[in-house]
Amino acid sequence: MVKNKKSFFVGSPYYIWMIIFIVVPMLMVAYYSFTDIDGNFTLENIKNLSEYADTFVLSIFLGAVATLICLIIAYPLAFMISRSKASTQKMMIMLVMLPMWMNLLLRTYSWMTIIEDTGIINSLLSKIGIGPFHMINTAGAVVLGMVYNFLPYMILPLYSAMTKIDKNVLEAAEDLGANMFQRVFKVIFPLSVPGVVSGITMVFVPSVSTFYISQKLGGTGYTLIGDVIDTQFLNSGRNMGATLSLVLMVLILLCMLLMNQFASNEEEAMLV
Amino acid sequence: MKNKIIDLHNITVAFDGEKVLDGIDLSIEDGQFVTLLGPSGCGKTTTLRIIGGFISPDSGDVFFDGKRINDLPAYKRQVSTIFQRYALFPHLNVYDNIAFGLRVQKVPKNEIAERVAEVIKMVNLSGFEKRKIDSLSGGQQQRVAIARAIVTRPKVLLLDEPLAALDLKLRKDMQVELKNIQRQLGITFIFVTHDQEEALSMSDVVVVMDGGKIQQIGTPEDIYNEPVNAFVADFIGESNIVDGIMIEDNLVKFAGQKIRCVDKGFGKNEPVDVVIRPEDIDVVSPNESPLSGLVTAVTFKGVHFEAIVDVDNFKWMIQTTDMIKEGQEIGLLLNPDDMHVMRKSEYSGMFGDYSSFSDEMDYISDPDYVEDEESEEVAEAEE
């Protein structure tokens, strides 16, 4: 019992932190979701959700596309990094993280100046007589912003899962007659599933809930759920914004549960 | 004459400019149990990996069953490897690990089931089919690794120190079991180890390696009884190696004495190394033999005593069942066939004196010793 008391004592700052900054805010979000501006209980906010159904669908769709693209780009890269020399690995991981040291707003702004109608790409292209192409304020631009900003969050967990794959295990597969294709699908992929799951989580969640990237690169045509929550809080009080946040949270939770279910099935399937 | 299954011709490999294998020539006959034996860093594992297809030689040729396979990738070679730390697939259970090789080769399902069941029985793993790899003991994992490697019916099985991680008793059992499996399958085993006892007890042919070169190829008896140089004599078993001069055929002079021996074919007065195994030396009273010395240490080994005897500052090791004591003066009697005479080699003078058992022991108590090739060269130049 003494030991438990001690560990409780050591942990207490964290428990207090979690209660103040995680549990209480969640309860507040829930509270505001079900009250009106005067603090009376209401289901009005929930009823109004249907107005935002399209926005939810668009957010999840663009988030999913960005996540998929991140996975496709990051997977081979992470594998290559994990199989290179230790010094090369350090360098590559540094390079992957480097953009993260710069502010997200700044990175998004630079993409604006690159893909604007009069931006860097179009002015370069006009010199050789091509274009201009309209790139900004499209769904593609929003996805580009998401991919660019969140790619490191996909690469790092994949990389760390892949460094754990024993080189000998791959050699054993080759030794037993597996060609490169078979080695990738029968050994490397199953063993990297934990990295895939956490990479998808870490890219999908911020992509779905982003507001800044869609504002700057998507213009008015691609307002995402994050933008709506942003405007709600700034202009119409907390209640509708809180409801949208709550629903978004639940939706993300469902997506993740589905994802984990799929992943563990995959692993189970490999085990059977 | 039997068919040569593996043939290495003048193989040279360097990593980062450092030669790991230096002109390896090795022919392996079909169906033999061949052991590559040597200290760590001698190139034995590299040799195995060349045969497996994981390393391609910088120069030289690899032949498999008469066909040159230098450029054949590992997955197309008819060899299987048992890796040192087993390298089992952590995401698959015992059955699927063993079936892996057959599945990637697209063997029909019912045949897979049959063949897997057969090898599972052979390695005594019945009932473990559904078990996860991480729930198995080291010895069980070892069996899975063996089963996984032999189920594809390779023509050659490569074993990279497969028993190193097992405890002593289990290792002995596995030695017997591997030997049995090899007899049953009738295929070639190429076994890498640094354990000389393992090599002697299991092999048809032992290949002793050091410094990226093959020192000697022979049957275990040849290697033990007729070592070609001081390195082999020292590495295989215990041996006293003394400087000598071959006066004429059947007469060698060492430790100040001319002694009859059975070796011949050397030049007159040729300097040689003489090997005397500790168990071949007879202990007599000092006046019965021209060789005598002071017993400086006695260790009881159960079967026999092991004693260090100082003969004119050269420390001999002898093994005897006679009762002897520290501080006792004894005579050492040698029969002509107790000695084995070797030509001088680069290893002469490096081994065979029992002031200590290992070279490392000398190094760690010598503050001037630097483990570096350059310093050795400097020391040689100074001499």
ipTM of the complex: 0.79
Has residue A167 got a pLDDT over 80?
yes
> Do residues B174 and B139 make contact, with C-beta atoms less than 8 angstroms apart?
yes
- All residues of chain B having their beta carbon less than 8 Å from the beta carbon of residue A176 are 75, 80, 100-101, 104, 148-149, 152
Pairs of residues, one from chain A and one from chain B, whose beta carbons lie less than 8 Å apart? 76
Q: With respect to residue B16, please indicate whether it lies within any of the assigned structural domains.
A: yes
For A181, nearest residue in chain B (alpha carbons):
B104
**Taking an 8 Å Cβ-Cβ cutoff, which residues of chain B contact chain A?**
52-54, 73-76, 79-81, 83-85, 87-93, 96, 100-101, 103-105, 132, 148-149, 152
Strand-pair partners of B300: B305
Question: In angstroms, rounded to a whole number, what is the distance separating the alpha carbons of residues B199 and B237?
Answer: 11
For A193, nearest residue in chain B (alpha carbons):
B91
- What is the domain partition of chain A in residue ranges? 1-44, 52-271
Between the alpha carbon of residue B204 and those of residues B188, B220, B342, the distances in Å are 10, 7, 23
Q: With respect to residue B342, please indicate whether it lies within any of the assigned structural domains.
A: no
Question: In angstroms, rounded to a whole number, what is the distance separating the alpha carbons of residues B217 and B196?
Answer: 14
Q: With respect to residue B217, please indicate whether it lies within any of the assigned structural domains.
A: yes
Length of chain A: 272
Q: What is the mean pLDDT of residues B245-266?
A: 88
Q: With respect to residue B354, please indicate whether it lies within any of the assigned structural domains.
A: no
B151: confidence class by pLDDT, cuts 50, 70, 90: very high
Cα atoms in the 13 Å half-sphere on the side-chain side of B129: 12
Cα atoms in the 13 Å half-sphere on the side-chain side of B146: 28
Of B74, B90, B92, the CB nearest to A175: B74
Q: With respect to residue B13, please indicate whether it lies within any of the assigned structural domains.
A: yes
Buried b vs exposed e over A167-179: b needs ≥16 C-beta within 10 Å? ebbbbbbbbbbbe
User: For residue range A98-134, what is the model confidence (pLDDT) as tens digits?
Assistant: 888 888 889 999 999 998 888 888 888 888 888 778 8
User: CA torsion B269→B270→B273→B276, rounded to 10°?
Assistant: -40
Distance from CA of B104 to the nearest CA of A (A): 6
pLDDT at B361: 64
pLDDT at A156: 94
Closest CA relative to residue A163, chosen from A263, A54, A88, A272: A88
CB contact under 8 A, B100 and A178: yes
Q: CATH number for the domain including B108? A: 3.40.50.300
CB contact under 8 A, A175 and B79: yes
* Percentage of residues in chain B having pLDDT higher than 90: 57
The vertex-A166 CA angle with A183 and B84, nearest 5°, equals: 105
Tokens 């999908």, located at residue: A204
**Optimal mutation site among B91, B115, B158, interface A, most CBs of chain A within 10 A:** B91
Between the alpha carbon of residue A68 and those of residues A65, A116, A129, B46, the distances in Å are 5, 25, 34, 42
- My answer on whether omega of the bond before B278 falls inside 30° of 0, hence cis, is no
Has residue A188 got a pLDDT over 90?
yes
CB contact under 8 A, A175 and B80: yes
Of B85, B101, B148, the CB nearest to A168: B85
| Backbone phi and psi for residue B26, each to the nearest 5 degrees, phi listed first | -150, 125
Q: Which tokens is A23 given?
A: 């549990």
Q: What mean pLDDT, rounded, does chain B reach?
A: 88
Cβ partners under 8 Å of residue A16, min gap 6: none
Amino acid (1-letter code) at residue A169: V
Q: With respect to residue B303, please indicate whether it lies within any of the assigned structural domains.
A: no
For A177, nearest residue in chain B (alpha carbons):
B75
Q: Which pTM does this prediction carry?
A: 0.79
Question: In angstroms, rounded to a whole number, what is the distance separating the alpha carbons of residues A199 and B73?
Answer: 33
Question: In angstroms, rounded to a whole number, what is the distance separating the alpha carbons of residues B67 and A80?
Answer: 33
Q: A52-271 belongs to which CATH class?
A: mainly alpha
Domain count for chain B: 1
DSSP state of B289: S
Q: With respect to residue B215, please indicate whether it lies within any of the assigned structural domains.
A: yes
What spatial distance separates the first Cα and last Cα of chain B, rounded to whole Å? 50
Lowest mean pLDDT among A215-224, B7-16, B43-52, B130-139: A215-224
